[in-house]
Amino acid sequence: MRLGVLDVGSNTVHLLVVDAHRGGHPTPMSSTKATLRLAESLDGAGNISTSGADRLVETVREFESIARTSGCGELMAFATSAVRDACNSDAVLHRVRTEAGVTLDVLSGEDEARLTFLAVRRWYGWSAGRILNFDIGGGSLELAFGGDEDPEVAYSLQLGAGRLTRDWFREDPPGKRRIAALRDWLDAELAGPAKHLRGAGDPDLTVATSKTFRTLARLTGAAPSSAGIRAPRTLTVSGLRQLISFISRMTTSDRAELEGVSSDRSQQLVAGALVAEASMRALGVESVQICPWALREGLILRKLDTEMGGELVVAAR
């Protein structure tokens, strides 16, 4: 079965084409991205602007055509934080459906956390024991913990790297006082969820997913993408603190020159690093393993399980 997965996020629209079958490893065939920065298209009233919606419709139409010509039997299309948070999300979704011919399913934050956790569980297997997972997106931070495929505890917090960059940083590079203030604010925001997660038990394995964590790990010495998907990668708190001290003094353009940092991610790298640091600090975590699978793979796995006879699957919420 060839599937297309269309992910409309806060920063990018990503089409992943995979060959997949139940019981097998989803094999990526192609990957196409477009940087739309939808979250930055929100106006003062919280609506996605007309120009932002125009770009989204055009991109979805183009990516649907790519999926069709790539031989996809089905296109699984979903949207996350930027569309979910927009006050005019229904109108934007209607435009995408009528003008691009694609129905976007809007995932809740908890859905994101649970589906990402499913992907992590499948990657590491049952022998990993109880897993704690972190995932930083453009608009939200997801935290999940549990010993099964459906986590016992799942949180989605509005602490995404792009959101915090827009709300907190006006200068480039950001000032020391602003960084210190954001650190204190993050500690306060994470105190309640962290207490609940710690109360659920101790993890046997602590994991991080998302492009933000992969980039941070690479900048602290983890293997490059050329080493392959299965190369072990780890991010430590000590390495992260040193990195923050370094990149927080750089401009956005200078950060874009760092190996492994794309130009569209360089702007929000400092905020992403601060969220990662605060999350690990709140939960007493010294290091995380970087999992190459995340939300898109979780959606694929759930579909294969539910539509091809599987029983060990997170139910659609």
Whether residues 185 and 283 fall in one domain: yes
SS3 at position 311: coil
Q: Which one, of 53, 59, 56, 46, lies nearest residue 91 by Cα?
A: 53
Higher pLDDT, 115 or 307: 115
* Domain at 238, CATH number: 3.30.420.150
pLDDT the model gives residue 308? 58
Identify the domain containing residue 91 by its residue range: 2-106
Q: Residues 124, 126, 127, 133: is their CA dihedral positive or negative?
A: positive
Average pLDDT of the residues in 171-194: 97
Residue 303 lies in a domain: no
Residues 98 and 132 in one domain: no
As a whole-number percent, the residues of the chain with pLDDT over 90 amount to 91
Which runs of consecutive H residues, i.e. helices, occur in 34-132? 50-69, 81-85, 89-95, 109-124
Q: Do residues 60 and 100 touch, judged by C-beta distance below 8 A?
A: yes
* Number of domains comprising the chain: 2
pLDDT of 316 above 50: no
275 & 177 share domain: yes
Across the range 49-56, mean pLDDT stands at: 97
Domain limit, last residue, from 58, 74, 106: 106
Q: What is the mean pLDDT of the chain?
A: 94
Examine the pLDDT at 194 and tell me if it is beyond 60.
Answer: yes
Q: How confident is the model at residue 74 (pLDDT cuts 50, 70, 90)?
A: very high
Whether residue 283 sits in one domain with residue 270: yes
What pLDDT is stored for residue 299 in this prediction?
Answer: 95
The Cα-based distances of 162 to 101, 271, 306 in angstroms read: 29, 8, 33
Considering the domain architecture, whether residues 201 and 232 belong to the same structural domain is answered as: yes
User: How far is it, in rounded angstroms, from Cα 229 to Cα 39?
Assistant: 29
Quick one: average pLDDT of 288-312?
84
Same domain, 90 and 201: no
Is 302 within a domain?
no
Looking at the fold, whether 125 and 248 belong to one and the same domain comes out as yes
**pLDDT at position 26:** 87
- Joined together, the tokens standing for residue 14 give 């990503």
Band (313; pLDDT cuts 50, 70, 90): very low
CATH number at residue 84: 3.30.420.40
Two structure tokens written together for 116: 């990402």
Distances 104 to 40, 76, 117, 132 between C-alpha atoms, Å = 20, 8, 22, 29
Task: Please check whether residues 119 and 102 belong to one and the same domain.
Answer: no
Residue 301 lies in a domain: no
